[in-house]
Amino acid sequence: MAYPISKLIIKAIYRPWIRKIDGMENVPIGKPFIIAANHSSYFDVFLPPIAITKKVDKKIHALVNSYYWKPFITRFFLDLWESIPVFVEKDKGSKEKNKAAIEKASGYLKKEEPVMIFPEGARSKDGKLKKAYTGVARLALKSRVPVLPVGVIGSNKVLPVGKMLPRFKRCEVKIGKLIHFEKYYGKKQNEKILNEITRSIMKQIARLINQKYSY
């Protein structure tokens, strides 16, 4: 009961700041997929789920920095939405913990529950795309499901880095077409392949937000 109520509350809170959502026809129904989105503000944490749950009535599980489990209020909502903690390199045992996070995310995908990831990791302070990590590629190969690229435009103007209250600006969500990676299935996983997949995802996100990804 708590989850549906929180979903409705969050949608109501966010609605005044959303100008439009494009690409809903690209969201698959009855199939697992990974949501990959750009990240320039805390405000865009709920934007892709709000857009996509209009069509897919399933809980969306986000991969989130483990730091946000420390404050009670963020921990409450992260656990409510069954988010998955990921760990930075300086955290003890981060490599093994992150392997477990990929396994957990893959488990949700097997149940046809979408998983969301911000490939850049941390927020971009100026709204420009940063170099992405390869976690999204690892998950795509592990789970063998396609990636749905999502571009968020203007969230950094609604809630800039360092600000606590949203400004009277509006943002957009653009949903691209599914990206499939069957040609990589069965191949030995290496950094070249992981970087190639990650780059292809980020270039699609870049097109959605009218930017270039040059990494």
Are the CB atoms for 82 and 61 separated by under 8 Å? Answer: yes
From the CB of residue 183, how many other CB atoms can be counted at a distance below 10 Å?
7
Local confidence band at 16 (pLDDT 50, 70, 90 cut-offs): confident
Residue 133 has a pLDDT of 95
What is the number of helices (H) and of strands (E) in the chain?
A: 7, 7
- Give me the mean pLDDT over the 123-141 stretch: 94
d(CA 182, CA 143): 11
d(CA 46, CA 43): 7
Residue range 53-66, pLDDT digits in tens:
888 888 899 999 88
Is pLDDT at 2 greater than 50 in this prediction?
no
Helix (H, G, I), strand (E, B) or coil at 147: strand
d(CA 118, CA 150): 10
Instruction: Please name which of 63, 3, 66 lies closest in space to residue 36, comparing C-alpha atoms.
Output: 63
Residue range 83-93, pLDDT digits in tens:
999 987 777 78
The structural domains of the chain, with segments of one domain joined by +, span 2-208
Query: CA quadruple 18, 54, 56, 42: dihedral positive or negative?
Result: positive
Pairing of strands 171-175, 147-153: antiparallel
Q: Work out the mean pLDDT of the chain and round it to a whole number.
A: 89
Residue range 142-183, pLDDT digits in tens:
999 999 999 999 998 888 888 888 888 899 999 999 999 999
- The residue ranking higher by pLDDT, 189 or 206, is 206
* 85-94, 100-109, 129-138, 205-214: range with lowest mean pLDDT: 85-94
User: Of the CATH numbers 3.30.70.580, 3.40.1130.10, 3.40.30.10, 3.40.1280.10, which one belongs to the domain with range 2-208?
Assistant: 3.40.1130.10
The type of residue at 3 is Y
Give me the percent of the chain exceeding a pLDDT of 70: 94
- The residue ranking higher by pLDDT, 199 or 98, is 199
Local confidence band at 8 (pLDDT 50, 70, 90 cut-offs): low
Cα-based torsion angle of the residue sequence 15, 21, 25, 30 in order, rounded to the nearest 10 degrees: -40
Residue 135 has a pLDDT of 95
Residue 29 has a pLDDT of 92
